[in-house]
């Protein structure tokens, strides 16, 4: 890695690898393609190197959620509860820390990392104009054409989906960028959507002092992609915190008399009214859209290489874009629609980077055991933590997903409040865990943990799923006492007890 000169030569036009979009995954693919090869790479970034996650998504949201989590848990631990009783967050301090976490929206350290690593950075908006060719337009309006000797990688990410509700596009509703970079906390907020962004945002908005907070979602439960108990437990906690939940509803019209371009994280105008399909009308100071993600593929020149513009890019297990022959175009991160998570995009990037380096050297892309490099194993485990109260951590498949995939499933559930480790955390601990076991192989194919502090339990489940560890081996993986990890022992005991009682239908 060391010793490769960084170049920002304005006249240079050719690199081995061009990465379109400089999110964490884009940085990773450039690093992995170049670090043990003779290849060089350039990242083309329209805004900030580090991407959505660093400045507008994961990092600011977790910075806002952490103080809320500390305060809530403190309220339930004698010896601390008396100190914080009746007190809320120090909002200016929370927002200031969030600003520190996003580096004041300055990517200088990320650019330095890239240049120090031997990866060039060009600022501007890139579009494919043909095979291995990218045109970059700078903020000043200048353009330059770049050619890749080997590969172009698309890492242009995603943005908030704006559903086709009359008046919504014109209302200037907050997107995930505004709600994570909130600067002025509105008094009344409606969150539209019931997924991960909605649940996390409702958690921090209420903690920051939103007085009237309503979450409207079309499904019967929050977090509908997870085990059903996860959404229900998060819903209970949000209701207890004073959030109004309106499931099974959709917006039919949005009105705002004076939408204004006030800037990120400030109210985008005056009162906004959301009319619902049940006839109700909700009036708020801001509307937050949390209705899923649209890949940034509409305007990146895909049609110039025979690929339809827009939509997710179907890729093979080495992240090569299926619609384009010759294995010169790859896609990683949200644009490929596999798992819209930073860590999964970075994993795809590591594999794709090694594949690109191997192919450029005329080698078959294989791992240390001479197996073809592929993202299949990692996606089997695909972990996720939703930092609500309680947290929701999962790896692999839910029971429903496993059944839909044709797996002959056996499950076990356990109330996590019954563990010494969680009792010490909070005497009124609320939590639940579930294992999904493939009967044919006697291995774990999915696990879900709900409860305070479960985030770091997830990696054990990811390991079990990816390594296909049989239950007979997991029985010897002893959890420390007294920790929440003892839930593994209880879940395995639940399976053994039931098996001892005889076959289940």
Ligand X SMILES: Cc1cc2nc3c(=O)[nH]c(=O)nc-3n(C[C@H](O)[C@H](O)[C@H](O)COP(=O)(O)OP(=O)(O)OC[C@H]3O[C@@H](n4cnc5c(N)ncnc54)[C@H](O)[C@@H]3O)c2cc1C
Ligand Y SMILES: NC(=O)c1ccc[n+]([C@@H]2O[C@H](COP(=O)([O-])OP(=O)(O)OC[C@H]3O[C@@H](n4cnc5c(N)ncnc54)[C@H](O)[C@@H]3O)[C@@H](O)[C@H]2O)c1
Cβ atoms of residues 281 and 275 within 8 Å: yes
Q: Which of 300, 407, 412, 445 binds ligand X (CB under 6 A)?
A: 300
Given the DSSP bridges, would you call strands 125-130 and 272-276 parallel, antiparallel or unpaired? unpaired
Give the position of tokens 């496993």.
402
Contact segment (CB under 6 A) with ligand X among 74-82, 259-267, 327-335, 373-381 equals 327-335
Among 73, 296, 318, 448, binds ligand X (CB under 6 A): 296
Number of neighbouring beta carbons within 10 Å of residue 501: 8
The answer to whether the CB of 351 falls within 8 A of the CB of 372 is no
> Which region among 48-56, 81-89, 280-288, 395-403 touches ligand X (by CB under 6 A)?
48-56
Q: DSSP 3-state helix, strand, coil percentages of the chain (rounded to 5)?
A: 35, 25, 40
203 binds ligand X (CB under 6 A): no
292 binds ligand Y (CB under 6 A): yes
d(CA 295, CA 312): 6
Pick one of 40, 135, 285, 334: the residue that binds ligand X (CB under 6 A).
Answer: 334
Can residue 198 be called a binding residue for ligand X (CB under 6 A)?
Answer: no
- Single residue of 17, 19, 33, 58 touching ligand X by CB under 6 A: 58
Told to check if 148 binds ligand X by CB under 6 A, we report no
Of 15, 32, 125, 217, the residue at the interface with ligand X (CB under 6 A) is 125
Radius of gyration of the chain (CA): 24
Contact between 488 and ligand X by CB under 6 A: the answer reads no
Cβ count near 358 (within 10 Å): 18
Pairing status of strand 41-45 against strand 14-20: parallel
Site map (CB under 6 A) of ligand Y, residues 141-180, x = contact: --------------------x-x-----------------
Residue 114, interface with ligand X (CB under 6 A)?
Answer: no
The CB-nearest residue to ligand Y is 195
Q: Per CB under 6 A, does 313 bind ligand X?
A: no
Q: Is 21 in the site for ligand X (CB under 6 A)?
A: yes
Closest residue to ligand X, based on beta-carbon distance: 157
Whole-number Å distance between alpha carbons of 283 and 247: 17
Using CA atoms of 100, 334, 207, 171 in order, give the dihedral in degrees to the nearest 10: 100
Task: State the minimum distance, in angstroms, from the CB of residue 230 to ligand X.
Answer: 16
Question: Under the phi-then-psi rule, with left for phi > 0, alpha for psi from -120 to 50, and beta for the rest, what region is 402?
Answer: alpha
DSSP structural state of residue 174: B
Site size toward ligand X (CB under 6 A) is 36
- What is the distance of C-alpha 395 from the center of its chain? 13
The entry of ligand X, ligand Y, none near residue 296 (CB within 5 to 8 angstroms by kind) is: ligand X
Listed ranges 20-28, 266-274, 370-378, 455-463: which one lies at the site for ligand X (CB under 6 A): 20-28
Cα torsion 24, 30, 33, 38: sign: negative
User: Which tokens sit at 414?
Assistant: 């356990």
- 180 contacts ligand X (rule: CB under 6 A): yes
- Segment contacting ligand Y by CB under 6 A, of 129-137, 230-238, 287-295, 375-383: 287-295
Residue with tokens 């390991």: 463
What's the token pair of residue 138?
């700078």
Q: Which is nearer to ligand X, 192 or 414 (CB)?
A: 192
Mapping DSSP to helix (H, G, I), strand (E, B) and coil, where does residue 50 land? strand
Judged by phi (left if over 0) then psi (alpha if -120 to 50, else beta), residue 209 lies in left
**Among 150, 249, 256, 343, contact with ligand X (rule: CB under 6 A):** 343
Is residue 387 within the footprint of ligand Y (CB under 6 A)? yes
List 118, 157, 195, 381, residue binding ligand X (CB under 6 A):
157
Q: How far is the CB of 388 from ligand Y (least distance, A)?
A: 9
**Pairwise CA distance, residues 261 & 284, whole Å:** 18
* CA atoms of 209 and 228, how far apart (whole Å): 29
Question: Considering CB distances under 5 to 8 angstroms, the limit depending on partner class, which of ligand X, ligand Y, none binds residue 219?
Answer: ligand Y
β-bridge partners, 354: none
Contact residues toward ligand Y (CB under 6 A) are 161, 163, 193-198, 200, 217-219, 250, 290-293, 340-341, 384-387
Q: Which residues bind ligand X (CB under 6 A)?
A: 20-23, 25, 44-48, 51-53, 57-58, 61-62, 125-126, 155-158, 176, 180, 197, 296, 300, 333-335, 340-343, 345
């Amino acid at each position: 890695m060391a010793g490769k000169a960084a170049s920002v030569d304005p006249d240079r036009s050719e690199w081995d690898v061009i990465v379109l979009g400089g999110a964490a995954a884009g940085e990773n693919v450039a690093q992995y393609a170049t670090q043990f090869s003779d290849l060089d790479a350039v990242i083309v970034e329209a805004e900030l190197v580090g991407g959505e996650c660093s400045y507008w998504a994961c990092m600011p949201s977790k910075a806002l959620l952490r103080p809320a989590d500390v305060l809530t848990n403190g309220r339930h631990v004698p010896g601390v509860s008396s100190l914080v009783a009746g007190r809320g967050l120090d909002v200016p301090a929370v927002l200031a820390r969030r600003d520190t976490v996003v580096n004041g929206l300055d990517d200088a350290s990320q650019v330095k990392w890239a240049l120090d690593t031997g990866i060039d950075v060009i600022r501007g908006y890139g579009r494919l104009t043909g095979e291995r060719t990218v045109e970059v337009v700078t903020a000043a309006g200048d353009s330059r054409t770049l050619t890749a000797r080997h590969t172009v990688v698309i890492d242009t990410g995603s943005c908030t989906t704006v559903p086709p509700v009359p008046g919504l596009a014109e209302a200037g509703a907050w997107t995930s960028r505004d709600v994570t970079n909130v600067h002025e906390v509105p008094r009344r907020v409606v969150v539209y959507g019931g997924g991960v962004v909605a649940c996390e945002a409702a958690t921090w908005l209420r903690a920051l002092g939103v007085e009237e907070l309503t979450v409207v979602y079309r499904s019967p439960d929050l977090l509908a992609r997870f085990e059903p108990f996860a959404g229900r437990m998060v819903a209970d906690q949000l209701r207890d915190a004073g959030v109004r939940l309106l499931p099974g509803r959709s917006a039919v019209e949005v009105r705002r008399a004076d939408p204004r371009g006030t800037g990120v994280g400030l109210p985008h105008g005056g009162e906004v009214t959301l009319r619902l399909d049940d006839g109700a009308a909700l009036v708020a100071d801001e509307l937050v859209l949390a209705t899923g993600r649209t890949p940034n593929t509409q305007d990146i020149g895909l049609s110039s290489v025979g690929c339809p513009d827009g939509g997710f890019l179907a890729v093979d297990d080495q992240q090569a874009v299926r619609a384009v022959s010759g294995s010169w175009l790859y896609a990683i991160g949200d644009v490929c629609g596999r798992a819209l998570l930073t860590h999964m995009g970075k994993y795809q990037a590591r594999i794709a980077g090694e594949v690109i380096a191997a192919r450029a050297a005329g080698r078959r892309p294989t791992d240390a055991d001479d197996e073809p490099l592929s993202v299949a194993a990692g996606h089997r485990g695909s972990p996720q933590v939703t930092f609500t109260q309680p947290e929701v951590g999962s790896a692999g498949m839910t029971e429903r997903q496993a059944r839909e995939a044709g797996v002959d499933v056996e499950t076990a559930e356990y109330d996590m409040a019954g563990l010494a480790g969680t009792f010490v955390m909070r005497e009124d601990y609320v939590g639940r865990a579930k294992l999904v076991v493939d009967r044919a192989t006697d291995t774990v194919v999915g696990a879900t943990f709900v409860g305070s502090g479960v985030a770091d339990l997830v990696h054990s489940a990811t390991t079990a799923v990816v390594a296909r560890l049989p239950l007979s081996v997991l029985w010897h993986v002893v959890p420390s006492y007294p920790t929440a990890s003892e839930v593994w022992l209880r879940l395995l005991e639940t399976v053994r007890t039931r098996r001892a009682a005889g076959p289940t239908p």
